[in-house]
Every structure is written in structure tokens, then in C-alpha cells.
Structure 1
Amino acid sequence: MTDFRQVTDSYAVSPQIQPEDIAKAKADGFVMVINNRPDSEVPDQPSSATMEAAAKAAGLAYRHIPVRGGPTPDQAAEQAEAIAEAGGPVLAFCRSGTRSIITWSQAAAKDAGLSRDEIVEKGSAAGYDLSGVV
């Protein structure tokens, strides 16, 4: 079951997806998948290599930017760069989607010129409380 949560016209987040969810991401118009989950957090999670192979087989770009806890400034910058270079809508995922939206809020949202209130509002609309992290 997919739970893609639209944050902006060009960015969505999701809890953990499976390789078979990549087809829906492609059908929904995403051009890139960003995996913010470190490998082996739990035994049954698909590896980054598995997710990358599924994305590439579907014709999607793929980036692995593993975040443990909160994102570092470098990870936030790398996420913003990936989004900017994607050339279309991006789907980012982690265990619950929280790391993906927080990482976006730290750089990409600010690069897009969004105010703190706009970032918090977009997070809330997607089901995440960013008021304490922005």
C-alpha cells in the first residue's frame, strides 16, 4: 500500500516503499526517488541497492541519502541539490516519511524561498509537524 504525501508540486514523501511501489511512483509522474533510510534499520526492509535497481528499471533516477536521527547540513544540502537536479517531481521516503520531510525543510524549502510558516503549513498538510524543527 502506498502512502505518497504531496508536500509541493515537485516533492512528496512517503513511509517505507517496496520495489513494487516504484511502478506507482512512475505512473504518478515522479522522475526521481530519494531513499533517506539507512540500510539494515530493520531486517525486512529492502536494501538501497534493491530500491535503486527497481527505480532504474522503471526509468526513474535514484539517490540514497541515508539520514540517522536529524539530517546534517550536508545531507540537507545534498537533498536540495537532488531535488533541484531532478527535472521533475521527486518522491522521498524513509521509515515514516518524517526524516524525508525534515531533510527537505532544512534546505530545499528554504532554497525555494518558503517562509518558516509556509514550511510548517506544507508539513502539516502532509501530516507532519515541523513546528519544532524549522
Structure 2
Amino acid sequence: MTNPKPLSDRLSVTPQIDPAAMQALADAGYRAIISNRPDGEEPGQPDWATIERAARDAGMEACHIPVAPGALTDDKVAEFGDALHQLPAPIVGFCRTGMRAASLWALSNPDEQSPETLIATAAEAGYDLSALRHRLAKA
């Protein structure tokens, strides 16, 4: 099973989720997923329709906010922040490695934490967001 890393009480992040692991995530108590992978990003990647169906079959809500690597626009950050507030928690966010999901969480800053706290929290989960320090300071 996927091993989500917690960033907050509401959100954990992980690399790509196998649709076959969705029931195990639901059994572990997760109530929703947010996918940040565009369809077709790499060969063999499950498409959004398959992931969404697996999540719903497992009794979870599902949200797709596709973000190309390096394209963390303000609109996508706001959309991610809205999803964090609207979906039932706990939530698993994922992309190819989990980095985009962690970055979107930090940039949306749902708990209004300092850039240092956001970067340290992500580092504890295995994600280096130090390159976002300047942008996080403006958020």
C-alpha cells in the first residue's frame, strides 16, 4: 500500500496511487483524494477516470487538479486550497512523486503557517520546498 506522509491534520501526500490500493487507503481512514497529475504524464500511468472510479468505489471523494511539473499557478494553488477546505478529511494528495501536492499545500497555506514552518513540515515528510521560500514569504 501507499504510505502517505502527513503535512497537516487534513492532508497527507504520496507518490502516484495505484487504483488497486484505494480501498486500503479508505480502510486506513482517508476520506478523499486530490490528484495533481495530468493524464498521460508518463506511459503506464493510471488515468483520472480509473482513479476516480476506484476512489468512489472505496467510498472516498475524489478531486482532480492537474498541474504540469513547474506550473504552480496562483489559480491552481487557490483551487487546491479550496479543495482542502471542501473535501472531507483526512485527504491524500498525490502526483508522480508527491512534490507538486506538497508544494500546492504549502503555497495555499491553509493553516497560515510561516514559510519556515511549511518548509520544515514538508522536509519531515521528505519534500524539499526550500526553492519556494521566496514565494511562500509573499503568500
TM range (shorter): over 0.9
CA distance in structure 1 between the partners assigned to 2:95 and 2:112 by the alignment: 25
Alignment of 1:44-123 (within 5 A): 44-70=44-70, 71-107=72-108, 109=109, 111-123=110-122
Q: Structure 1: which 4+ aligned runs deviate by more than 6 Å?
A: none
Q: Residue 13 of structure 1: SS of its match in structure 2?
A: strand
Partner of 1:34: 34
**Correspondence 1:131 to 2:130:** yes
Amino-acid identity (%):
37
Q: Residue 132 of structure 2: SS of its match in structure 1?
A: coil
**Aligned residues: CA RMSD:** 1.1
Paired positions, count: 132
TM-score (norm 2): 0.90
Unaligned runs of 5+ in 2: 134-139
**Deviation digits for residues 6-59 of structure 1 (CA, Å, limit 9, x no counterpart):** 111210101011111111211121111001000011120100000000011111
**Deviation digits for residues 98-132 of structure 1 (CA, Å, limit 9, x no counterpart):** 0110111111x2x3111111101110110011111
Unaligned runs of 5+ in 1: none
Q: Residue 131 of structure 2: SS of its match in structure 1?
A: coil
